Structure 1
Amino acid sequence: MSRRVLISVLVAVLVLAGAGGAALYLLRGSDQSGAQTTAATAFARAWTGGNLATLAFAPSETKDPAGAVQKITAGLTSEKTDKPAEVTAGEPTESESGETASVPLKVSWPLTGDQQWQYDTTLTLVKQDDAWLPEYSPALVHPQLTGALATATLEASTLTGRRGQIIGAGEKVLVEDREVVMVGLQKSRADNLEQTVNQVAGIVDVDGAALLKRAKAAGDDVFVEVITLRRAAYDKVKDQLQPIPGTVFQTKNLSLPPTSDFARPLFGTVGTATADIVKESGGRVQAGDETGLSGLQRTYDEQLSGTPGVAVTAAVPDQKETEPTELYRADPTDGENLEVTIDQEVQNAADKALGSAKKLAGLVAIDTATGNILAVANGGPNGNSYNRALLGQYPPGSTFKVASTFGLLEFGGMTANKTVACPATLAVGGKTFKNAEDEVLGRVKFADDFAHSCNTAFVGSARLISQDELAEAARSLGYGQPNATGVTAYLGQVPTEGDAVEHAASMIGQSKVLASPLTVASASAAVAEGTWHAPRLVLNGRPSSTGEEPTSEDEGGQASAEPTASAETSAEVEPVKLDAAAAKTLRSLMRGVVTNGTATALKGVPGGPVSGKTGTAEYGSDVPPRTHAWFTGFQGDIAFAVVVEDGGFGAETAVPLVKKFLADLAS
């Protein structure tokens, strides 16, 4: 081996030796960095999984680091264990001493309204023997939790914008924010709790026993809500309430119509979200949020409430007088107005009329030229608990003679002057049909049969048209048409088939024929206009995905619990042009009901001539059967229908309500 080669080999050995030493050092460094990364990743996974308690932390004064983290973040979400949606660990940086390492973390929390709160913080790792353990400090949760905020807890609060208004006909604001006063009790301020409860319950008419039970169960300084009153209602009783020891008061704004009874089942209410609403909202509504509870307010809550915002604050628990420090804020957006067809004057008249009803009743008024629904009213004892005006499914009784007459005129060759017998009874297929109060008209003009609502005349005329033709005529007047109102509503049904008995009963609105006041009013509107227009109520609505209000049977058990059509706003239902001659004759026949028939009580009503049809509809299995009372008709460009549950004869109970409605409307 030459000297040059020997020198080269020695140099190479030295270089390799040096390189080997460096490689060993780098390997050791790589081992440490890998262990730090593994520890940081384990921490990130445990935090997002809600499993911090499974980790070993570096020794510190805090004996339960996982519990300390949970205490700080308990106000961020509604979950039992608060945990970030995502925690991402960056590259570790080892200290000069080699005893600690800093790892940058990117943290993301899920907040209300699909908001994501993202921020950076730092995880400190401490070397313990051959392991790297996370070190707890409040700044680990958020970097601003140091110094005066080291003992602070985080709180996420929902921010709400202005709730959208409900705008009616003529751009009149029907529902907007109005001031209310929440009357409450605070046990620590009451000298004698039972005496306070009795006094308050006597003034605002609430269940004293239930209130006392709630008050006793509450904490000494808890606000126990008694009742929420509109400002005007509160002002009438405040001088009685305020001196009572233990009474406390809070004011706020709620989205309300002009009066407490104004189309109440239709518009619904706004209040604190129920557990069911929170669950059904898919995270959009949180516990404690103000939200639509029923009616339009619930169906269109997402549109009306807008997009919620959120604020995250850090507050020191024992320093309530110190303003919390805001760490994050996403401002809300205001809700969008909802446009409806309700006319305030017409609705007021309808509400006032049904406010005098002694039995459960529903009324709908419609603009004949457009199909726009002008009023939806419900009345009677606890009448506002159910929207029977739109949802009720009743046999329409003799008001259906408007539809069967239209069928007879169009398909059966009937005329107003044709002689049609009206005996006291008439048997069909073994069933005997009779007239109200055993009335007998004999052989008279069909116009007289219609004016006096002779059942046997219509039963005897059933042979002139088929059941399918009857159903077709009824559909031309709106029965069974698609729902385009924008709310849950029932548009009626008329079977297309049936035996002779069923067909005869269908002619007088019995058997399987069903309708709501909306259906019956829509039919009268079609006759008045000569064209049926689909009833409309909501003009610009976008129903919430889970916002539709569940429907239920009313207390009297008269209305079906399952409406056949749900809220639709995009449905385009074509108008139906009626046979002009048949519609003209039918208008004349309906006018005769008022001039010389069963509704002469409406002869002198102000506002112009009234045309209409009374109805008495049998239901149930009682003998004799119980009956609902009806009246439907039109005056000028307003058509209407009213039903009174278990009301007997239409002329006796329904007509007086219509008379009051029209008189109030004209005043």
Structure 2
Amino acid sequence: MRRSARDTEDSARIITRRALFMGGSMAAVVAVLGARMRYMQVDQADQFRMLAERNRVSIRLIPPARGQIFDRNGKLIAGNEQNYRVVITREDAGDVNEVLHRLAGVIPLTPDDIERTLAEVKRRSPFVPIIVADRLQWDDLSKVALNTPSLPGVTPEVGLSRTYPLDTDFAHVVGYVGPVSESDLAKLEDPDPLLQIPKFQIGKIGVETWMEASLRGKAGNTRIEVNAVGRVMRELERIEGDAGQDIRLTIDADVQNFMQARLGQESAAAVAMDVQNGDILAIVSAPSFDPNLFVRGISYKDYEALTGNDHRPLANKAVQGAYPPGSTFKMVTALAALEAGVITPETTVSCPGHYEMGGRRFHCWKRGGHGGVSLERSLAESCDVYYYDIAQRVGIDKIAEMGRRLGLGMRHDLPMSAITEGVMPDKAWKQERYSQDWRIGDTINASIGQGYVLTSPLQLAVMTARVASGRAVVPRLVRSIGGEELAVPDAPPLGLDAAQLRAVRGGMFAVINSQRGTGYSTRIADDTLVMAGKSGTSQVRNISAAERARGVISNEDLPWERRDHALFVGYAPYDNPRVAVSVVVEHGGGGSSVAGPIVRDILLRALTGGMPPLTAYPTNQRNRIETQLKELKLRQPSPDTDTKSRA
């Protein structure tokens, strides 16, 4: 079929357009290539000439400065110090083994140092700098700098290393940093490239690890020119990273230091908490350790001394320790019974020194008994039989519910390691845990904080603050991040009857201020700082009937690990609560005689802003207290002392 002239004309026109489009596209590509060739051959001629002479450009990460940690008043807790070190890069060094042996002639390097570095070099990419030696003296760093022409791939550097100027005071709170391990990397799906840098330090425990994302910052990078033998010729470009964010804690470093000194070498823990907003003012586990040892590389001898100590200095007893609360739990049982309506503050229970139930006898701590006991007197004199009786009326489930309402049996969300939930048992818990029914004897034991009940010093401080304030105060440890203040958690009312709370607080007041109270010797003489509290002594061993018959062995006559735990909780001032404190002394003996005085001293230190005034103590105690406070003052840093002087 013949095509018409019109069809032929249209076809020619289409072909012409296509040819023009394709020709134009090819011309554009040629123009771009030409421009790029001119840029590379003319504008960058000098750079490529150097590369042609076997110079190379290397890109390296710049670790950011780690964020610093401060107390509530701006005192430095964790900072950074200059660290002189030497690194080697495999791709620039050539024969790494030979270079390391040359370096050993310049600065002290042991065969173990060389072997360790060689092993690290094999594990890392060829462009990653490996730290050969750090914490060098300036003289050694200068020697390396002078000898770099004969040490290809070796670079002297000035970096930053973590330091803890208040050493033992914040070891369990802030924790410490250490080199990234394989296990650290295995936990991350997409690890930060910074973590690939050998000996890069990250948080290992405490605030350092839980706030790692804020503290670490973001890496910068530098483009450097190295010649054929690996010597750095010049820095071509440098992009600084972003330093980590500074963190301010709620803790008062001076109160923290006093608390640490007051606990001394006891195996103990203490927590001081703001009753109104939940701020942790101090939180200590004793004995402590120096976190700087871990940053610098702890020796086997030092580590063995820590792990072999039966007082467990590495454990954070304040949040990890779970102890039977003993009689400090009696406020929980009392409030549960009051709310359930099975007793009133005036209800009395007869205490003959024991309680009979199911053919078993449960003893009061006072062998001869207390006689007729009301709520206030039951707390003041810590009558056990009163609580055995009312616990049977209210039942364990309501007691457990009240315990959880007051902050027990739950994990409080703080940036600290291994925080325990403790145990606030009920019928369902025992069935789930042991596949056993709850028994009457279990309720009796739980009513006085024994049996299955376990609490931490942190939880006891929260409980005390909630009883004192009547609100669900939530503990917090971080005050600001990067200069931005964090919101204070809401503290709604507990929903407890005001009169019932007053009755329990009145009993706690009588513990300290009634002459028959178990804590009378720990009273505060200053009327503006009057204290309320509760003592507790929790058994760690069973007392047999035969031992009761011949006389219970006193704590002083038992091996340390079989003695009772001493506990005490308190708050002050009684009529306007500001601070709540809990103290647990492992195997300390009596709560009133051992833990009570510590609680009083900490409250006075926190409330007065200085060393406890002698006028706050009863007159007959002042000579002894004065000597004790002088000894404690010697352990305190002077107000004008730079914190770095204690590093």
TM-score, structure 1 normalization: 0.60
SS in structure 2 of the partner of residue 385 of structure 1: coil
Amino acid at match of 2:244: G
Matched, 1:298 2:203: no
- 2: distance between equivalents of 1:252 and 1:159? 10
- 2: distance between equivalents of 1:368 and 1:658? 15
Q: Counterparts in 2 of 1:213-612, with a 5 A limit?
A: 253-281=160-188, 282-284=190-192, 285-288=195-198, 289-316=200-227, 318=229, 320=231, 322-326=232-236, 329-354=238-263, 356-359=264-267, 361-380=268-287, 384-436=313-365, 438=367, 440-480=369-409, 483-487=412-416, 489-497=419-427, 498-539=438-479, 574-595=492-513, 596=515, 597-604=517-524, 608-612=529-533
Higher strand share: 1
Residues 254 and 270, structure 1, Cα contact 8 Å, conserved in 2: no
- 2: distance between equivalents of 1:250 and 1:421? 77
Superposed displacement of residue 632, structure 1: 0.8
- 2: distance between equivalents of 1:274 and 1:464? 56
Matched, 1:618 2:539: yes
Structure 1, residues 353-375: CA drift from partner, whole Å, max 9, x if none?
22x1422x111111111122221
**Greater shift in the superposed pair: 265-274 or 489-498:** 489-498
Superposed displacement of residue 586, structure 1: 1.3
Amino acid at match of 2:424: V
- 2: distance between equivalents of 1:453 and 1:214? 62
CA RMSD of aligned residues (A): 4.4
- 2: distance between equivalents of 1:632 and 1:451? 13
- 1: distance between equivalents of 2:59 and 2:488? 38
Structure 1, residues 140-159: CA drift from partner, whole Å, max 9, x if none?
xx995754774456544332
Superposed displacement of residue 540, structure 1: 5.4
Gap change, CA 1:334 and 1:594, over 3 Å in 2: same
**Greater shift in the superposed pair: 577-586 or 652-661:** 652-661
Higher relative contact order (CA 8 A, sep 6+): 2
Superposed displacement of residue 271, structure 1: 3.7
Superposed displacement of residue 444, structure 1: 3.5
Residues 629 and 645, structure 1, Cα contact 8 Å, conserved in 2: yes
Structure 1, residues 354-400: CA drift from partner, whole Å, max 9, x if none?
2x1422x1111111111222211111275551222123222212111
Residues 271 and 582, structure 2, Cα contact 8 Å, conserved in 1: yes
Q: Percent identity?
A: 26
- 1: distance between equivalents of 2:563 and 2:491? 36
Gap change, CA 1:149 and 1:536, over 3 Å in 2: farther
Q: Counterparts in 2 of 1:19-34, with a 5 A limit?
A: none
Residues 173 and 283, structure 2, Cα contact 8 Å, conserved in 1: yes
- 2: distance between equivalents of 1:346 and 1:154? 53
Give the structure 2 partner of residue 15 of structure 1: none
- 1: distance between equivalents of 2:105 and 2:542? 57
Instruction: Kindly tell me the number of residue pairs found equivalent between the two proteins.
Output: 470
SS in structure 1 of the partner of residue 184 of structure 2: helix
- 2: distance between equivalents of 1:264 and 1:154? 43
Gap change, CA 1:570 and 1:311, over 3 Å in 2: farther
SS in structure 2 of the partner of residue 475 of structure 1: helix
Structure 1, residues 541-567: CA drift from partner, whole Å, max 9, x if none?
69xxxxxxxxxxxxxxxxxxxxxxxxx
Residues 286 and 313, structure 2, Cα contact 8 Å, conserved in 1: yes
Amino acid at match of 1:161: P
Superposed displacement of residue 162, structure 1: 3.5
Give the structure 1 partner of residue 566 of structure 2: 629
Residues 518 and 535, structure 2, Cα contact 8 Å, conserved in 1: yes
Give the structure 2 partner of residue 564 of structure 1: none
- Structure 2 unaligned spans of 5+: 1-28, 87-102, 119-130, 138-155, 289-305, 307-311, 428-437, 548-561, 612-647
Residues 426 and 456, structure 1, Cα contact 8 Å, conserved in 2: yes
SS in structure 2 of the partner of residue 501 of structure 1: helix
Superposed displacement of residue 259, structure 1: 0.4
Superposed displacement of residue 183, structure 1: 12
Superposed displacement of residue 317, structure 1: 6.1
Amino acid at match of 2:531: V
Superposed displacement of residue 319, structure 1: 6.0
Q: Counterparts in 2 of 1:35-74, with a 5 A limit?
A: none
Give the structure 1 partner of residue 81 of structure 2: 179
Superposed displacement of residue 261, structure 1: 1.8
Residues 179 and 251, structure 1, Cα contact 8 Å, conserved in 2: no
Residues 409 and 421, structure 2, Cα contact 8 Å, conserved in 1: yes
- 1: distance between equivalents of 2:415 and 2:244? 18
Gap change, CA 1:412 and 1:648, over 3 Å in 2: farther
Residues 416 and 589, structure 1, Cα contact 8 Å, conserved in 2: no
- 2: distance between equivalents of 1:283 and 1:121? 36
Amino acid at match of 2:220: G
Amino acid at match of 2:79: D
TM-score, structure 2 normalization: 0.62
- 1: distance between equivalents of 2:538 and 2:184? 38
- 1: distance between equivalents of 2:85 and 2:238? 32
Structure 1, residues 85-130: CA drift from partner, whole Å, max 9, x if none?
xxxxxx999xxxxxxx99x99xxxxxxxxxxxxxx999xxxxxxxx
- Structure 1 unaligned spans of 5+: 1-90, 94-100, 106-119, 123-138, 194-211, 229-248, 543-567
- 1: distance between equivalents of 2:492 and 2:341? 26
Superposed displacement of residue 482, structure 1: 6.4
Residues 264 and 384, structure 1, Cα contact 8 Å, conserved in 2: no
Give the structure 1 partner of residue 93 of structure 2: none
- 1: distance between equivalents of 2:368 and 2:495? 36
Amino acid at match of 2:224: T
Superposed displacement of residue 340, structure 1: 3.0
Residues 315 and 325, structure 1, Cα contact 8 Å, conserved in 2: no
- 2: distance between equivalents of 1:340 and 1:538? 4
Matched, 1:645 2:586: yes
- 2: distance between equivalents of 1:590 and 1:296? 34
Superposed displacement of residue 508, structure 1: 0.8
- 2: distance between equivalents of 1:627 and 1:654? 12
Give the structure 1 partner of residue 599 of structure 2: 658
Gap change, CA 1:324 and 1:279, over 3 Å in 2: farther
Superposed displacement of residue 310, structure 1: 2.1
Give the structure 2 partner of residue 551 of structure 1: none
Superposed displacement of residue 525, structure 1: 0.7
Structure 1, residues 537-594: CA drift from partner, whole Å, max 9, x if none?
235569xxxxxxxxxxxxxxxxxxxxxxxxx999877452432111111111112112
Superposed displacement of residue 299, structure 1: 1.1
Give the structure 1 partner of residue 15 of structure 2: none
SS in structure 2 of the partner of residue 362 of structure 1: strand
Amino acid at match of 2:396: Q
Residues 342 and 390, structure 2, Cα contact 8 Å, conserved in 1: no
Q: Counterparts in 2 of 1:108-127, with a 5 A limit?
A: none
Structure 1, residues 200-240: CA drift from partner, whole Å, max 9, x if none?
xxxxxxxxxxxx995696789x9667999xxxxxxxxxxxx
- 2: distance between equivalents of 1:605 and 1:386? 36
Superposed displacement of residue 492, structure 1: 4.0
Superposed displacement of residue 663, structure 1: 4.9
